[in-house]
Amino acid sequence: MGYRSFHLIRATIMSALFLAVTGQPSTLAQNTERPVYDTADDTFITVETMLERLHTTDVVYVGESHNDFAHHLAQLRVLENMHAHNGSLVMGWEMFHSSQQPLLDAYTGGWLPEVEWLDAIYWEETWGHAYPWYKPLLDFAREEHVRIFGLNAPREVVRGVRTEGEEGMPDDLAYWLPAGFWLRLNIESEEAYKAWFMETARHMPTATDSMMEGMFNSQTAWNEIMGWNVVKAFNVIPDPDLQVLVIVGSGHAIFGQGIPTRVALHRPDMDQIVIIPHTSESVMTRSEIREEDLHLEGDYIWFVTHAEDPPGVERPEPMQMPPPSMPPPA
């Protein structure tokens, strides 16, 4: 049996298991049938066409809204396809710190059972979002021995960038910052990204200009550190066929900026592609996409169908607003 045939059968089995667990057709299969918007050519292409274009790309980003299972299934589809075509594929995850690399290697290498690994890596404290959303990706990485690189830094580092600045940053936290970090904190090529971030943050009820500036500095710290760790993967693994699939919140790669900008600063020769999933009942038209400025978000906009949460996810009850008071009867 060929390698591609094996993975096609595996995907079919996964779809059947999804149906057995949820009682619904596989969202993975439904999303494969939907077209993808190619922002460069202002046209729609098939999912398969998009996936084929990833085979020669150095770094591929698939964004996510952290609590949207449909986005994680889209990431899984990309992971399966890229791995089927390239055994040199590795992943970079926002969800883990680079200091946790030995634990990540132990897990994907099959040396550490899942329960022990979750305890050792402090999933709830490190990331905190529901583990079942990420389990299919992590299961695949473990089964196929796809190495995962932790891209992030401890939260104290990002908090120090925001509150202490360059002069007050303790040495033990400054250790995690790439060389030249403060010189690259605000760069002209990210003006559009900063404007988007500030506009988004402005909707916070208590947002002030200084608070938003500090928040953007934190965002920049995340992006700079994660970008450097993407580049570091290529330094650690001297394989000419190496590709890195980055699993990350969409806000860290939107507009092709954030992490991709930071990677390009270190390695301008890198080919990078950004895929932004959008969960929707239907595929938007080209004019609707442009009216909403979605064509600016990435190289490909993937309209995915809603996916029910996997077993084990407990969402908090939505806040119930009291009904408006009624006027007294006349």
Q: Read off the pLDDT of residues 62-91 as tens digits, 9 standing for 90 and up.
A: 999 999 999 999 999 999 999 999 999 999
Instruction: State the CATH architecture for 32-304.
Output: 3-Layer(aba) Sandwich (3.40)
Q: Which residue has the higher pLDDT, 78 or 32?
A: 78
Predicted pLDDT at 38? 97
pTM: 0.86
The residue count of the chain comes to 330
321, burial (CB in 10 Å: exposed 0-12, middle 13-18, buried 19+): exposed
Predicted pLDDT at 312? 92
Of the candidates 258, 274, 272, 276, which has an alpha carbon nearest to the alpha carbon of residue 221? 258
pLDDT confidence band for 32 (50 / 70 / 90)? low
Predicted pLDDT at 27? 60
Task: State the Cα–Cα distance between residues 147 and 195, nearest whole angstrom.
Answer: 35
- Tokens at residue 82, please? 């890229």
Task: State the Cα–Cα distance between residues 61 and 254, nearest whole angstrom.
Answer: 10
pLDDT confidence band for 22 (50 / 70 / 90)? very low
Tens of pLDDT, residue by residue over 150-206, are 999 888 998 888 888 888 999 999 998 888 888 888 788 888 888 888 888 888 878
Task: State the Cα–Cα distance between residues 61 and 259, nearest whole angstrom.
Answer: 9
229 within 8 A of 181, measured Cβ to Cβ: no
- Kindly report the CA angle at 39 between 37 and 43, in degrees rounded to 5? 55
Predicted pLDDT at 29? 59
**Average pLDDT rounded to a whole number, residues 276-294:** 94
Predicted pLDDT at 185? 80
